[in-house]
Amino acid sequence: MSLYENLLLNLENGILIITINRADKLNALNIDTIKEIKAAIQQVYDDPAVKGAIFIGAGEKAFVAGADISEIAELSDVNARGFAERGQEVFSMIERCTKPVIAAVNGFALGGGCELAMACHMRVASESARFGQPEVNLGLIPGYGGTQRLTQLIGKGKAMELMMTADMIGAAEAKALGLVNHVVPAVELMPKCMEILSKILTKAPLAIGLVIDCVNAVYDKDEDGYQTEANSFARCCSSEDFVEGTNAFLEKRKAVFKGA
Ligand code: COA
């Protein structure tokens, strides 16, 4: 029996495709789904056969239409902090994963869905994708990192506007704001994500992981990002892949990286 009731996992050419599979609820994130996402991302960390991951929603309509409102409605001030912190922890695991993770946004990415997409290292959207943080409609605010990551990605003024108006924006506006990297027709969504990841997977894996660490360090108040960069640069220079990469260039051949 599969470990997962709310996710479908598929390994294709080293890329773990993680499908949020509650299409009848527009893939809303209930607590069980959050736990399963944690297990799936742990698998990305631990399984050497997994080199990168893609999150997508089941069905035609939604990536993820938010946290499950039927569960949220039961929250009180006693359990709400833990609810937010547990979600934040899982999304931070995605953000800090040293293997590349892409969100393939194939429809509504609202509330926790927009937050899940923003925790990924980059976002590719289909033309029909819609983004928003509509929590104020429910008397709430984003709780899975949305106030922080939306501001990081699109800047303070626009983030304030989207979170205070609860407006939804389409894929083209999301791209103009820097919220998504690419917008493609729906049929090209997975091929585009696969193309980007396949390209990344030809590079030195250690260097890719260190790029992720260094970019994340920009937003970590306890870290000196320049120091992290210098340390990471030095770490690369002691790797076998650095010797291979530089030799391959000088010998005019394609580098073959081992991830060591
Ligand atoms: N939590 C729980 N269930 C959700 C949900 C969510 N975040 N979003 C959608 N659903 C459920 C609906 O209740 C409905 O279930 P039902 O068929 O059992 O009644 C089903 O998914 C389909 O949604 P529906 O609202 O009928 O689709 P729609 O096309 O009319 O509207 C949306 C789509 C996305 C605009 C609308 O579903 C919506 O506003 N969802 C909530 C978005 C939100 O506020 N997210 C932030 C939560 S913190």
Amino acid making up residue 25: K
Q: Distance, CA 68 to ligand 1 centroid (Å)? A: 9
Query: What integer pLDDT is reported at residue 141 of this predicted model?
Result: 98
CA–CA separation, 257 vs 248, rounded Å?
Answer: 10
Rounded-to-integer distance, Cα 220 and Cα 64, Å:
27
Residues 144-182: tens digit of each pLDDT:
999 999 999 999 999 999 999 999 999 999 999 999 999
- Work out which ligand 1 atom sits closest to the CA atom of 108: 34
| pLDDT per residue as tens digits for the range 184-226 | 999 999 999 999 999 999 999 999 999 999 999 999 999 999 9
Task: Give the DSSP letter of residue 137.
Answer: G
Please tell me the total number of residues recorded for the chain in this structure: 260
State yes or no: pLDDT of 3 exceeds 90.
no
In the chain, the percentage of residues whose pLDDT exceeds 90 is 98
Which positions are catalytic? 115, 135
CATH architecture for segment(s) 7-201: Alpha-Beta Complex (3.90)
Taking residues 55-68, what's their average pLDDT? 97
The pLDDT assigned to 62 comes to: 98
Q: What is the per-residue pLDDT across 100-127, written as a single tens digit (0 to 9) for each?
A: 999 999 999 999 999 999 999 999 999 9
In 3D space, the residue among 80, 140, 146 whose CA is nearest the CA of residue 117 turns out to be 146
Largest CA distance in the chain: 64
| pLDDT tier at 1, thresholds 50, 70, 90 | low
Neighbours of 241 (CB within 10 A): 19
- Residues touching ligand 1 (Cβ under 6 Å) are 25-26, 28, 65-70, 72, 108, 110-111, 134-135, 137-138
Q: Whole-prediction pTM value?
A: 0.97
Domain boundaries, the chain: 7-201, 205-251
Three-state secondary structure call for residue 129: coil
Nearest CA-CA partner of 44 in 112, 90, 78? 90
Q: How far is CA 48 from CA 36, 42, 128, 213, in A?
A: 20, 12, 35, 19
The tokens for 196 are: 């980007």
**67 contacts 144 by C-beta, under 8 angstroms:** yes
User: Which residues face 126 on adjacent strands?
Assistant: 184
Cβ 169 vs Cβ 132: under 8 Å: yes
Amino acid at 207: A
Which atom of ligand 1 lies closest to the CA of 111? 46
Q: Contact at 8 Å (CB) between 47 and 85?
A: no
Q: Where are the beta strands (DSSP E) in the chain?
A: 7-12, 15-20, 52-57, 62-64, 101-105, 108-110, 122-126, 130-132, 169-170, 182-184
Question: What is the DSSP pairing of strand 122-126 with strand 7-12?
Answer: unpaired
Ligand 1 centre from 62 Cα, in Å? 10
